[in-house]
């Protein structure tokens, strides 16, 4: 099985380890990054510098009879995988009825959600900051400014006044098409699932919780499981609408009334999927069964009531901030141990993440004197 992209994401390594435990050879192909050795990673291409080199590397596997599945772990890897493997029968969503351009566009997928019957916010694509300011005057502040390609929350800004909107547009428009979206007050939630032919077979519905020091728009470091009927209904509707296969996840805002408002769809495994395994679910194992040609039995137990960290978070953030003592406390804490994925954890995983933390701490320590001199 090929996992393409996001080699530095913890969920990619956790998924690779779970597949390894199921007897599957897991090959990670990616651009850039540091190379870590582990028995559950059979090859890790890290020397590439652009997507064309990744595509060339993937061509070597196109006609390999051993290849079962190709899983893009990042949105920008989806077109690359389709360009190489279309027609080979190893792409999970090759026959999705929406185009790749639509699938990778946050604004267009908002329209698809509306067509599927989901509740969506008012949203408009803008070409200039002046257009955004005009819409904001009509809708009122605060207002959201969003890049069309997502990028794990990096292209999302809450703007409370015209100056913030102009600044957000100037930054995001350099790398992406831009939309303005009405501000929806409430709690941040998500609902993910494993699908086959649009049918939901495994679920992960959770509230995103903020830890001290974490960024509100970034992927969560702690979550709480609770099955919401509307989330289950939305997963079923949207899965059928897209005839989805494999992993997909919806981000929501939950109004005080309890209504879930669709924000975006992530056509891939999501960062918090490791917590589903820690809670006792087996979303990761479903993909292994599919790769072996076995029927995946439907199991919609969300393990409600479980709450915990999204392993190995917040370890990377604390290490980047140079907080040695907090890193040590985290590694020794019951919360960290209790959030390790049950069926996909090993000491090898801990070793990799602790090494990352160590080198991040070293880098933070070398930067600190420079900040002091400045």
CATH of the domain at 82: 3.40.50
Tokens of 147: 């890049």
Neighbours of 255 (CB within 10 A): 14
Work out the pLDDT band at 369, boundaries 50, 70, 90.
low
Comparing C-alpha atoms, which of 50, 47, 46, 94 is closest to residue 69? 94
Same structural domain for residues 214 and 289?
yes
Alpha helices in 246-333 (DSSP H): 273-279, 283-291, 315-320, 324-332
Give CA torsion, residues 87, 54, 360, 216, to 10 deg: -50
Residue 161 sits in a domain whose CATH number is: 3.30.1490.20
Q: Is 79 left (phi over 0), alpha (psi -120 to 50) or beta?
A: alpha
Domain tally, the chain: 4
Asked, for residue 136, whether it belongs to a domain, the answer is: yes
53: buried, middle or exposed (CB in 10 Å: 19+, 13-18, 0-12)? Answer: middle
> Which pLDDT does position 156 carry in this prediction?
87
Same structural domain for residues 29 and 77?
yes
> Which pLDDT does position 366 carry in this prediction?
84
Does residue 370 surpass a pLDDT of 80? Answer: no
Taking only Cα atoms into account, the Rg of the chain, rounded to an integer number of angstroms, comes to 21
Same structural domain for residues 301 and 318?
no
CA atoms of 101 and 108, how far apart (whole Å): 9
Asked, for residue 104, whether it belongs to a domain, the answer is: no
Asked, for residue 96, whether it belongs to a domain, the answer is: no
For 245, the domain range is 188-310
Sign, CA dihedral 9-15-19-24, equals negative
- 278-304 residue pLDDT tens: 999 999 999 999 999 999 999 999 999
Asked, for residue 229, whether it belongs to a domain, the answer is: yes
Rounded alpha-carbon distances, angstroms, from residue 341 to 27, 191, 221: 21, 19, 14
Does residue 218 surpass a pLDDT of 90? Answer: no
- End residue of a domain, out of 161, 182, 203: 182
> Which pLDDT does position 373 carry in this prediction?
40
Same structural domain for residues 80 and 9?
yes
More confident residue, 151 or 16: 16
Tokens of 233: 């209904």
Residue 330 backbone dihedrals phi, psi, to 5 degrees = -60, -45
Q: What share of the chain in percent tops pLDDT 70?
A: 94
> Whole-model pTM?
0.91
Same structural domain for residues 194 and 305?
yes
- End residue of a domain, out of 258, 288, 310: 310
Asked, for residue 171, whether it belongs to a domain, the answer is: yes
Same structural domain for residues 150 and 169?
yes
Residues 6+ apart with CB under 8 A from 19: 1, 26, 40, 284, 287, 288, 291
94-102 — which CB contacts under 8 Å span 24+ positions?
Answer: 95/243, 96/242, 96/243, 96/244, 97/242, 97/243, 98/242
- End residue of a domain, out of 70, 91, 112: 91
Give CA torsion, residues 238, 243, 248, 249, to 10 deg: 0
- 111-161 residue pLDDT tens: 999 999 999 999 999 999 999 999 999 999 999 999 987 655 678 899 999
């Amino acid at each position: 099985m090929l996992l393409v992209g996001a080699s530095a994401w913890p969920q990619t390594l956790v998924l690779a380890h779970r597949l390894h435990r199921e007897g599957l050879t897991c090959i990670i192909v990616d651009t850039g990054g540091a190379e870590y050795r582990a028995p559950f990673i059979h090859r890790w291409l890290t020397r590439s510098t652009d997507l064309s080199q990744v595509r060339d590397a993937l061509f070597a596997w196109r006609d390999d009879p051993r290849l079962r599945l190709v899983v893009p772990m990042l949105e920008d890897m989806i077109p690359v995988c389709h360009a190489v493997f279309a027609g080979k029968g190893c792409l999970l969503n090759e026959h999705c009825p929406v185009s790749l351009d639509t699938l990778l566009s946050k604004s267009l997928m908002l329209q698809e959600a509306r067509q599927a019957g989901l509740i969506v916010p008012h949203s408009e694509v803008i070409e200039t900051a002046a257009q955004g300011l005009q819409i904001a005057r009509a809708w009122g502040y605060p207002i959201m400014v969003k890049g069309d390609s997502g990028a794990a929350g990096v292209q999302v800004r809450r703007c409370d006044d015209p100056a913030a909107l102009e600044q957000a547009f100037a930054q995001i428009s350099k790398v992406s098409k831009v939309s303005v979206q009405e501000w929806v007050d409430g709690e941040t939630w998500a609902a993910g699932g494993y699908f086959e032919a649009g049918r939901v077979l495994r679920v992960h519905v959770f509230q995103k919780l903020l830890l001290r020091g974490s960024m509100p728009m970034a992927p969560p470091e702690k979550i709480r499981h609770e099955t919401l009927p509307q989330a289950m209904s939305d997963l079923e509707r949207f899965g059928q609408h897209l005839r989805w296969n494999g992993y997909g996840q919806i981000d929501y805002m939950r109004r005080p009334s309890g209504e879930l408002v669709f924000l975006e769809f992530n056509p891939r495994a999501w960062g918090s999927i490791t917590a589903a395994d820690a809670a006792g679910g087996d979303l990761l194992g479903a993909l292994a069964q599919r790769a072996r040609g076995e029927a995946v039995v439907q199991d919609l137990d969300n393990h409600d009531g479980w709450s915990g960290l999204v392993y190995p978070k917040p370890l990377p953030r604390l290490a980047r901030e140079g907080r040695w003592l907090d890193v040590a406390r985290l590694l020794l804490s019951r919360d960290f141990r209790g959030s390790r994925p049950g069926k996909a954890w090993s000491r090898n995983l801990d070793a990799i993440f602790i090494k990352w933390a160590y080198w991040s701490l070293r880098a933070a320590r070398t930067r600190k004197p420079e900040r002091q001199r400045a």
